[in-house]
Amino acid sequence: MKRIIALILVLSSLLCFTSCKDEGEVMGEKYNSNDIVLKSENFSYTRAELSIAFNQYFMDFFYNNENIDFYNIDTEASLKDQIYYDDVTWFDYFADLSLSYMENVLVLCEAAKAEGVELSEEDLSEIEDVLDSYVRYANDYGYTEIEYFAKFFGPEANQDYLREYYKKEALAIIYENRQVSSYTFTAEELSEYAESNREAFYAIDYITYTFDEDEDREAKAAAESLAAVTDAAAFDSAILTYMKEKLGKEGDELTTKDCYRSFKYYDEYSEFSKWAFDGGEVGKTYVKSNDVDGQYTVYLLTTAPTLRTDNTKNIRILTVNTDSHETTAKALSYAEGLLSQWKEGDATEDSFVELIKNETDDKSAVSIGGLVEGVAAGDALPEGLEEWLYSSETVQGSTDIFKDTGCYYIVYYCGEGRVKWEMDAENALIAEKYEEKKLGFYEKYAVERFDEVIRSLDE
Protein backbone atom coordinates (compact mmCIF):
# COMPACT_ATOMS: atom_id res chain seq x y z
CA MET A 1 0.00 0.00 0.00
CA LYS A 2 1.17 3.50 -0.73
CA ARG A 3 2.04 5.07 2.59
CA ILE A 4 1.01 8.71 2.54
CA ILE A 5 2.32 9.15 6.07
CA ALA A 6 5.50 9.28 4.06
CA LEU A 7 4.44 12.40 2.17
CA ILE A 8 7.25 13.60 -0.04
CA LEU A 9 8.09 17.13 0.99
CA VAL A 10 9.01 18.79 -2.25
CA LEU A 11 10.62 21.97 -0.96
CA SER A 12 10.72 23.65 -4.31
CA SER A 13 8.72 25.92 -6.54
CA LEU A 14 5.73 23.55 -6.62
CA LEU A 15 2.60 25.20 -5.31
CA CYS A 16 -0.52 23.42 -4.15
CA PHE A 17 -2.73 25.28 -6.56
CA THR A 18 -5.15 22.36 -6.60
CA SER A 19 -6.08 22.68 -2.94
CA CYS A 20 -9.33 23.61 -1.29
CA LYS A 21 -10.33 27.02 -0.13
CA ASP A 22 -12.25 27.45 3.12
CA GLU A 23 -15.50 26.98 1.26
CA GLY A 24 -16.56 25.72 -2.15
CA GLU A 25 -19.79 26.28 -3.99
CA VAL A 26 -21.40 23.69 -6.26
CA MET A 27 -24.93 23.82 -7.63
CA GLY A 28 -25.86 26.52 -5.15
CA GLU A 29 -24.80 24.47 -2.13
CA LYS A 30 -21.93 25.39 0.17
CA TYR A 31 -19.51 22.95 1.72
CA ASN A 32 -16.66 23.31 4.18
CA SER A 33 -13.61 21.47 5.47
CA ASN A 34 -15.54 19.17 7.80
CA ASP A 35 -18.00 17.90 5.22
CA ILE A 36 -17.74 14.19 4.46
CA VAL A 37 -16.52 12.95 1.06
CA LEU A 38 -16.29 9.23 1.84
CA LYS A 39 -17.88 7.22 4.64
CA SER A 40 -17.95 3.62 5.78
CA GLU A 41 -19.78 2.29 8.82
CA ASN A 42 -17.21 3.42 11.41
CA PHE A 43 -14.80 5.69 9.54
CA SER A 44 -14.94 8.68 7.20
CA TYR A 45 -12.88 11.22 5.27
CA THR A 46 -13.52 14.96 5.20
CA ARG A 47 -13.06 17.37 2.33
CA ALA A 48 -9.91 18.69 4.02
CA GLU A 49 -8.48 15.17 4.06
CA LEU A 50 -9.33 14.75 0.38
CA SER A 51 -7.38 17.95 -0.20
CA ILE A 52 -4.37 16.37 1.51
CA ALA A 53 -4.49 13.26 -0.66
CA PHE A 54 -5.17 15.29 -3.82
CA ASN A 55 -2.12 17.46 -3.23
CA GLN A 56 0.01 14.43 -2.48
CA TYR A 57 -0.82 12.77 -5.79
CA PHE A 58 -0.51 16.03 -7.70
CA MET A 59 2.90 16.89 -6.27
CA ASP A 60 4.18 13.33 -6.69
CA PHE A 61 3.14 13.45 -10.34
CA PHE A 62 5.18 16.57 -10.98
CA TYR A 63 8.12 15.56 -8.83
CA ASN A 64 8.56 12.03 -10.20
CA ASN A 65 7.61 12.48 -13.86
CA GLU A 66 10.62 13.05 -16.09
CA ASN A 67 8.39 13.88 -19.07
CA ILE A 68 6.14 16.35 -17.29
CA ASP A 69 6.32 18.90 -20.13
CA PHE A 70 4.66 16.35 -22.42
CA TYR A 71 1.38 16.68 -20.51
CA ASN A 72 1.17 20.44 -21.02
CA ILE A 73 -0.62 21.11 -17.73
CA ASP A 74 -1.24 24.82 -17.08
CA THR A 75 -0.48 25.29 -13.40
CA GLU A 76 -2.14 28.72 -13.44
CA ALA A 77 -5.51 27.43 -14.67
CA SER A 78 -8.18 25.21 -13.15
CA LEU A 79 -7.58 21.49 -13.54
CA LYS A 80 -11.34 21.12 -13.97
CA ASP A 81 -11.02 22.89 -17.32
CA GLN A 82 -8.06 20.89 -18.64
CA ILE A 83 -8.64 17.59 -20.42
CA TYR A 84 -6.60 14.52 -19.52
CA TYR A 85 -8.29 12.35 -22.17
CA ASP A 86 -11.77 12.15 -23.70
CA ASP A 87 -14.16 13.70 -21.16
CA VAL A 88 -11.84 13.14 -18.18
CA THR A 89 -10.20 16.26 -16.76
CA TRP A 90 -6.96 16.45 -14.85
CA PHE A 91 -9.04 17.21 -11.76
CA ASP A 92 -10.93 13.95 -12.33
CA TYR A 93 -7.66 12.09 -12.76
CA PHE A 94 -6.10 13.20 -9.47
CA ALA A 95 -9.40 13.05 -7.59
CA ASP A 96 -9.97 9.46 -8.73
CA LEU A 97 -6.48 8.43 -7.58
CA SER A 98 -7.09 10.04 -4.20
CA LEU A 99 -10.57 8.58 -3.70
CA SER A 100 -9.50 5.10 -4.76
CA TYR A 101 -6.70 5.16 -2.21
CA MET A 102 -8.92 6.55 0.53
CA GLU A 103 -11.65 3.99 -0.15
CA ASN A 104 -9.04 1.25 0.18
CA VAL A 105 -7.97 2.67 3.54
CA LEU A 106 -11.56 2.80 4.82
CA VAL A 107 -12.21 -0.81 3.84
CA LEU A 108 -9.05 -1.96 5.61
CA CYS A 109 -9.90 0.11 8.68
CA GLU A 110 -13.28 -1.61 8.87
CA ALA A 111 -11.61 -5.02 8.57
CA ALA A 112 -9.11 -4.04 11.27
CA LYS A 113 -11.88 -2.91 13.62
CA ALA A 114 -13.81 -6.13 13.04
CA GLU A 115 -10.76 -8.11 14.18
CA GLY A 116 -9.97 -5.85 17.12
CA VAL A 117 -6.81 -4.33 15.64
CA GLU A 118 -6.04 -0.87 17.05
CA LEU A 119 -3.23 1.66 16.99
CA SER A 120 -0.75 1.32 19.84
CA GLU A 121 0.62 4.17 21.89
CA GLU A 122 3.83 3.81 19.90
CA ASP A 123 1.91 4.17 16.64
CA LEU A 124 0.17 7.31 17.89
CA SER A 125 3.48 8.69 19.11
CA GLU A 126 5.01 8.14 15.68
CA ILE A 127 2.24 10.17 14.09
CA GLU A 128 2.85 13.00 16.55
CA ASP A 129 6.57 12.87 15.73
CA VAL A 130 5.76 13.30 12.02
CA LEU A 131 3.48 16.25 12.72
CA ASP A 132 6.12 17.82 14.95
CA SER A 133 8.68 17.42 12.18
CA TYR A 134 6.45 19.46 9.86
CA VAL A 135 6.37 22.27 12.39
CA ARG A 136 10.17 22.15 12.61
CA TYR A 137 10.39 22.25 8.81
CA ALA A 138 8.17 25.31 8.78
CA ASN A 139 10.51 27.09 11.20
CA ASP A 140 13.63 25.94 9.33
CA TYR A 141 12.39 27.27 6.01
CA GLY A 142 10.89 30.53 7.19
CA TYR A 143 7.19 29.64 7.10
CA THR A 144 4.57 30.09 9.73
CA GLU A 145 2.86 26.83 10.60
CA ILE A 146 -0.27 27.90 8.71
CA GLU A 147 1.73 28.90 5.64
CA TYR A 148 3.64 25.63 5.61
CA PHE A 149 0.59 23.40 5.83
CA ALA A 150 -1.18 25.50 3.20
CA LYS A 151 1.75 25.27 0.80
CA PHE A 152 2.40 21.55 1.08
CA PHE A 153 -0.93 20.04 2.12
CA GLY A 154 -3.60 22.51 0.98
CA PRO A 155 -5.22 25.58 2.60
CA GLU A 156 -7.63 23.47 4.65
CA ALA A 157 -4.92 21.26 6.11
CA ASN A 158 -3.90 21.61 9.71
CA GLN A 159 -2.53 19.33 12.39
CA ASP A 160 -5.95 18.01 13.38
CA TYR A 161 -6.90 16.98 9.84
CA LEU A 162 -3.47 15.47 9.17
CA ARG A 163 -3.60 13.59 12.46
CA GLU A 164 -6.93 11.97 11.57
CA TYR A 165 -5.74 11.26 8.05
CA TYR A 166 -2.59 9.56 9.31
CA LYS A 167 -4.41 7.58 12.01
CA LYS A 168 -6.66 5.91 9.46
CA GLU A 169 -3.77 5.31 7.15
CA ALA A 170 -1.59 3.83 9.89
CA LEU A 171 -4.36 1.48 11.01
CA ALA A 172 -4.86 0.27 7.45
CA ILE A 173 -1.14 -0.31 7.00
CA ILE A 174 -0.80 -2.21 10.27
CA TYR A 175 -3.72 -4.45 9.40
CA GLU A 176 -2.46 -5.04 5.87
CA ASN A 177 1.03 -5.89 7.14
CA ARG A 178 -0.45 -8.44 9.53
CA GLN A 179 -2.34 -10.08 6.71
CA VAL A 180 0.65 -10.15 4.39
CA SER A 181 3.03 -11.49 7.04
CA SER A 182 0.66 -14.36 7.80
CA TYR A 183 1.24 -15.99 4.42
CA THR A 184 3.97 -18.65 4.20
CA PHE A 185 4.99 -20.86 1.29
CA THR A 186 7.14 -23.95 0.96
CA ALA A 187 10.19 -24.13 -1.30
CA GLU A 188 8.21 -26.46 -3.55
CA GLU A 189 5.35 -23.96 -3.88
CA LEU A 190 7.78 -21.18 -4.79
CA SER A 191 9.50 -23.36 -7.39
CA GLU A 192 6.22 -24.46 -8.94
CA TYR A 193 5.02 -20.88 -9.15
CA ALA A 194 8.24 -19.73 -10.83
CA GLU A 195 8.09 -22.57 -13.35
CA SER A 196 4.47 -21.74 -14.11
CA ASN A 197 5.40 -18.12 -14.77
CA ARG A 198 8.75 -18.48 -16.53
CA GLU A 199 8.41 -15.19 -18.42
CA ALA A 200 8.30 -13.30 -15.10
CA PHE A 201 11.14 -15.13 -13.36
CA TYR A 202 13.64 -16.32 -15.95
CA ALA A 203 16.25 -13.87 -17.22
CA ILE A 204 19.06 -13.66 -19.77
CA ASP A 205 22.32 -11.78 -20.25
CA TYR A 206 23.55 -10.43 -23.56
CA ILE A 207 25.82 -7.93 -25.28
CA THR A 208 24.44 -5.55 -27.89
CA TYR A 209 25.63 -2.79 -30.18
CA THR A 210 23.77 -0.56 -32.65
CA PHE A 211 25.37 0.62 -35.89
CA ASP A 212 23.91 3.83 -37.30
CA GLU A 213 24.18 5.09 -40.88
CA ASP A 214 24.18 8.65 -39.54
CA GLU A 215 27.63 7.82 -38.10
CA ASP A 216 28.81 5.31 -40.68
CA ARG A 217 27.43 4.93 -44.20
CA GLU A 218 28.54 1.29 -44.13
CA ALA A 219 26.71 0.54 -40.88
CA LYS A 220 24.83 -2.43 -42.33
CA ALA A 221 28.00 -4.15 -43.46
CA ALA A 222 29.61 -3.45 -40.09
CA ALA A 223 26.65 -5.07 -38.34
CA GLU A 224 26.91 -8.16 -40.55
CA SER A 225 30.59 -8.40 -39.72
CA LEU A 226 29.96 -8.24 -35.96
CA ALA A 227 27.14 -10.78 -36.24
CA ALA A 228 29.73 -13.34 -37.35
CA VAL A 229 31.53 -13.03 -34.00
CA THR A 230 30.18 -15.49 -31.42
CA ASP A 231 32.73 -15.32 -28.60
CA ALA A 232 31.90 -12.73 -25.90
CA ALA A 233 35.47 -11.45 -25.48
CA ALA A 234 35.97 -11.22 -29.24
CA PHE A 235 32.57 -9.52 -29.62
CA ASP A 236 33.57 -6.90 -27.05
CA SER A 237 36.94 -6.38 -28.72
CA ALA A 238 35.34 -5.99 -32.15
CA ILE A 239 33.04 -3.26 -30.84
CA LEU A 240 35.96 -1.37 -29.29
CA THR A 241 37.96 -1.64 -32.50
CA TYR A 242 35.04 -0.32 -34.54
CA MET A 243 34.41 2.57 -32.15
CA LYS A 244 38.06 3.56 -32.20
CA GLU A 245 38.96 3.08 -35.85
CA LYS A 246 35.67 3.90 -37.57
CA LEU A 247 34.05 6.43 -35.22
CA GLY A 248 37.22 7.97 -33.82
CA LYS A 249 36.22 7.55 -30.19
CA GLU A 250 38.84 7.73 -27.47
CA GLY A 251 39.25 8.26 -23.76
CA ASP A 252 36.07 7.83 -21.70
CA GLU A 253 33.99 7.45 -24.88
CA LEU A 254 35.88 4.31 -25.81
CA THR A 255 34.00 1.84 -23.62
CA THR A 256 31.57 -1.05 -24.01
CA LYS A 257 30.11 -0.59 -20.53
CA ASP A 258 26.68 0.29 -21.91
CA CYS A 259 26.69 -2.65 -24.29
CA TYR A 260 26.18 -5.25 -21.56
CA ARG A 261 22.69 -6.23 -20.42
CA SER A 262 22.26 -8.41 -17.37
CA PHE A 263 19.21 -10.07 -15.81
CA LYS A 264 16.81 -9.07 -18.57
CA TYR A 265 13.35 -10.60 -18.40
CA TYR A 266 11.12 -11.57 -21.29
CA ASP A 267 9.88 -8.61 -23.33
CA GLU A 268 6.89 -9.37 -25.54
CA TYR A 269 7.60 -6.26 -27.63
CA SER A 270 11.17 -7.27 -28.50
CA GLU A 271 11.79 -9.68 -31.38
CA PHE A 272 15.23 -10.43 -29.96
CA SER A 273 13.71 -11.31 -26.59
CA LYS A 274 11.22 -13.66 -28.24
CA TRP A 275 14.09 -15.32 -30.10
CA ALA A 276 16.28 -15.61 -26.99
CA PHE A 277 13.55 -17.11 -24.80
CA ASP A 278 12.19 -19.41 -27.49
CA GLY A 279 15.19 -21.52 -28.41
CA GLY A 280 17.90 -18.91 -28.94
CA GLU A 281 21.32 -20.46 -28.38
CA VAL A 282 24.08 -19.09 -26.17
CA GLY A 283 26.95 -17.89 -28.36
CA LYS A 284 24.62 -17.09 -31.27
CA THR A 285 23.87 -13.63 -32.59
CA TYR A 286 20.65 -11.93 -33.63
CA VAL A 287 20.41 -8.88 -35.89
CA LYS A 288 17.59 -6.37 -35.84
CA SER A 289 17.52 -4.25 -39.00
CA ASN A 290 15.78 -0.91 -39.34
CA ASP A 291 16.37 0.13 -42.93
CA VAL A 292 14.12 3.17 -42.57
CA ASP A 293 16.20 4.73 -39.78
CA GLY A 294 19.41 3.16 -40.99
CA GLN A 295 20.08 1.39 -37.70
CA TYR A 296 21.28 -2.20 -37.29
CA THR A 297 21.48 -3.75 -33.85
CA VAL A 298 23.49 -6.89 -33.16
CA TYR A 299 22.81 -9.04 -30.07
CA LEU A 300 25.02 -11.79 -28.67
CA LEU A 301 23.24 -14.07 -26.19
CA THR A 302 25.66 -14.89 -23.36
CA THR A 303 23.43 -16.83 -20.95
CA ALA A 304 20.36 -18.99 -21.46
CA PRO A 305 17.08 -18.12 -19.70
CA THR A 306 17.52 -19.08 -16.06
CA LEU A 307 16.20 -18.30 -12.60
CA ARG A 308 18.04 -15.51 -10.83
CA THR A 309 19.98 -17.17 -8.05
CA ASP A 310 21.93 -14.05 -7.12
CA ASN A 311 21.41 -12.70 -3.61
CA THR A 312 19.73 -9.36 -3.15
CA LYS A 313 21.20 -6.68 -0.91
CA ASN A 314 19.79 -4.93 2.15
CA ILE A 315 20.66 -1.30 2.79
CA ARG A 316 19.67 1.69 4.90
CA ILE A 317 19.29 5.11 3.30
CA LEU A 318 19.47 8.63 4.69
CA THR A 319 18.08 11.15 2.18
CA VAL A 320 19.33 14.71 1.79
CA ASN A 321 17.11 16.70 -0.60
CA THR A 322 19.04 19.13 -2.77
CA ASP A 323 16.09 21.55 -2.66
CA SER A 324 16.64 21.86 1.07
CA HIS A 325 19.95 23.64 0.41
CA GLU A 326 21.04 26.69 -1.57
CA THR A 327 23.02 24.66 -4.09
CA THR A 328 23.61 21.03 -5.03
CA ALA A 329 27.18 21.40 -3.84
CA LYS A 330 26.01 22.53 -0.42
CA ALA A 331 23.62 19.59 -0.23
CA LEU A 332 26.50 17.23 -0.96
CA SER A 333 28.67 18.99 1.61
CA TYR A 334 25.90 18.61 4.17
CA ALA A 335 25.58 14.89 3.40
CA GLU A 336 29.33 14.46 3.72
CA GLY A 337 29.21 16.26 7.06
CA LEU A 338 26.50 13.93 8.35
CA LEU A 339 28.49 10.89 7.29
CA SER A 340 31.64 12.24 8.95
CA GLN A 341 29.65 12.94 12.09
CA TRP A 342 28.45 9.34 12.15
CA LYS A 343 31.95 7.94 11.55
CA GLU A 344 33.35 10.00 14.41
CA GLY A 345 30.80 8.43 16.76
CA ASP A 346 30.01 4.77 17.39
CA ALA A 347 29.72 4.15 13.64
CA THR A 348 27.29 1.25 14.19
CA GLU A 349 24.10 0.30 12.38
CA ASP A 350 22.11 1.42 15.43
CA SER A 351 23.76 4.83 15.39
CA PHE A 352 23.07 5.12 11.65
CA VAL A 353 19.41 4.41 12.32
CA GLU A 354 19.44 7.16 14.94
CA LEU A 355 21.06 9.53 12.44
CA ILE A 356 18.28 8.74 9.95
CA LYS A 357 15.67 9.43 12.61
CA ASN A 358 17.10 12.88 13.27
CA GLU A 359 18.36 13.98 9.86
CA THR A 360 16.66 12.33 6.87
CA ASP A 361 14.51 14.46 4.58
CA ASP A 362 12.41 11.38 3.80
CA LYS A 363 10.19 11.20 6.87
CA SER A 364 8.69 7.94 5.60
CA ALA A 365 12.00 6.28 6.39
CA VAL A 366 12.04 7.16 10.09
CA SER A 367 9.80 4.36 11.35
CA ILE A 368 11.78 1.67 9.49
CA GLY A 369 15.21 3.18 9.98
CA GLY A 370 15.65 3.83 6.28
CA LEU A 371 15.70 0.09 5.58
CA VAL A 372 15.40 -1.02 1.95
CA GLU A 373 15.46 -4.78 1.47
CA GLY A 374 15.81 -6.82 -1.69
CA VAL A 375 17.89 -4.43 -3.80
CA ALA A 376 19.14 -6.34 -6.83
CA ALA A 377 21.45 -5.97 -9.78
CA GLY A 378 19.54 -4.60 -12.74
CA ASP A 379 17.22 -2.48 -10.59
CA ALA A 380 16.85 1.21 -11.39
CA LEU A 381 19.44 2.55 -8.96
CA PRO A 382 21.40 5.80 -8.61
CA GLU A 383 24.58 5.83 -10.67
CA GLY A 384 27.35 3.82 -9.05
CA LEU A 385 25.21 2.18 -6.37
CA GLU A 386 24.93 -1.23 -8.04
CA GLU A 387 28.67 -1.41 -8.65
CA TRP A 388 29.33 -0.44 -5.03
CA LEU A 389 26.88 -2.98 -3.62
CA TYR A 390 28.44 -5.83 -5.59
CA SER A 391 32.06 -4.81 -5.05
CA SER A 392 34.22 -7.20 -3.02
CA GLU A 393 35.39 -4.17 -1.03
CA THR A 394 31.86 -3.41 0.20
CA VAL A 395 31.28 -5.27 3.45
CA GLN A 396 28.66 -5.06 6.16
CA GLY A 397 28.90 -1.60 7.69
CA SER A 398 30.31 0.08 4.57
CA THR A 399 28.90 3.51 3.74
CA ASP A 400 28.99 5.89 0.80
CA ILE A 401 27.06 8.76 -0.82
CA PHE A 402 25.21 8.54 -4.14
CA LYS A 403 23.43 11.20 -6.17
CA ASP A 404 19.89 10.68 -7.41
CA THR A 405 17.30 13.00 -8.92
CA GLY A 406 16.74 15.83 -6.45
CA CYS A 407 18.70 14.31 -3.60
CA TYR A 408 21.79 12.61 -2.23
CA TYR A 409 21.58 9.21 -0.54
CA ILE A 410 23.87 8.27 2.32
CA VAL A 411 23.84 4.47 2.09
CA TYR A 412 24.70 1.95 4.80
CA TYR A 413 25.25 -1.64 3.64
CA CYS A 414 23.52 -4.15 5.96
CA GLY A 415 24.43 -7.33 4.11
CA GLU A 416 23.00 -9.87 1.72
CA GLY A 417 19.28 -10.47 1.43
CA ARG A 418 17.31 -13.34 -0.03
CA VAL A 419 17.86 -15.09 -3.35
CA LYS A 420 16.27 -12.91 -6.02
CA TRP A 421 13.89 -15.40 -7.65
CA GLU A 422 12.67 -16.80 -4.34
CA MET A 423 11.93 -13.33 -3.00
CA ASP A 424 10.08 -12.34 -6.18
CA ALA A 425 8.06 -15.55 -6.27
CA GLU A 426 7.01 -15.18 -2.64
CA ASN A 427 6.05 -11.53 -3.15
CA ALA A 428 3.96 -12.43 -6.19
CA LEU A 429 2.17 -15.24 -4.36
CA ILE A 430 1.49 -13.00 -1.38
CA ALA A 431 0.08 -10.32 -3.68
CA GLU A 432 -2.24 -12.82 -5.37
CA LYS A 433 -3.58 -14.25 -2.13
CA TYR A 434 -3.96 -10.87 -0.48
CA GLU A 435 -5.80 -9.38 -3.46
CA GLU A 436 -8.26 -12.27 -3.32
CA LYS A 437 -8.91 -11.58 0.35
CA LYS A 438 -9.17 -7.83 -0.18
CA LEU A 439 -11.89 -8.33 -2.79
CA GLY A 440 -13.92 -9.90 -0.01
CA PHE A 441 -13.39 -6.81 2.13
CA TYR A 442 -14.83 -4.60 -0.62
CA GLU A 443 -17.89 -6.83 -0.83
CA LYS A 444 -18.36 -6.82 2.94
CA TYR A 445 -17.67 -3.18 3.82
CA ALA A 446 -19.58 -0.59 1.80
CA VAL A 447 -18.19 2.92 1.27
CA GLU A 448 -20.52 5.79 0.46
CA ARG A 449 -19.29 8.63 -1.77
CA PHE A 450 -20.58 12.23 -1.69
CA ASP A 451 -19.92 13.50 -5.20
CA GLU A 452 -21.09 17.08 -4.76
CA VAL A 453 -18.74 17.62 -1.84
CA ILE A 454 -15.93 16.05 -3.84
CA ARG A 455 -16.59 18.38 -6.77
CA SER A 456 -16.54 21.34 -4.41
CA LEU A 457 -12.81 20.91 -3.96
CA ASP A 458 -11.59 24.30 -5.15
CA GLU A 459 -8.38 25.14 -6.97
CB neighbours (10 Å) of residue 200? 15
Amino acid occupying residue 301: L
**Average pLDDT, stretch 4-26?**
37
Instruction: Kindly tell me if the per-residue pLDDT of 2 is higher than 60.
Output: no
pLDDT of residue 67: 75
Q: What percent of the chain has pLDDT over 70?
A: 93
CATH 1.10.4030 residue ranges in the chain? Answer: 4-183
- Fold annotation for 311-418: Chitinase A; domain 3 (3.10.50)
Rg (CA), the chain: 26
**Which segments of the chain belong to CATH 3.10.50.40?**
311-418
| Longest distance between any two alpha carbons in the chain, whole Å | 76
| pLDDT, tens only, 321-348 | 998 888 999 999 999 999 999 999 999 9
CATH number of the domain located at residue range(s) 198-307 in this protein = 3.10.50
Q: Chain centroid to CA 26: how far?
A: 36
pLDDT digits (tens, 9 = 90+) for 398-411: 999 999 988 999 99
Split at pLDDT 50, 70, 90, the class of 28 is very low
Nearest to 59 by CA among 127, 134, 151, 137: 151
Beta strand 285-290 with 295-307 is antiparallel
pTM for the full model?
0.72
pLDDT digits (tens, 9 = 90+) for 180-239: 999 999 999 999 999 999 999 999 999 999 999 999 999 999 999 999 999 999 999 999
CATH class name, domain 4-183: mainly alpha
Q: What pLDDT, in 10s, does the model give residues 407-430?
A: 999 999 999 999 999 999 999 999
161 vs 35: CA distance, rounded Å: 12
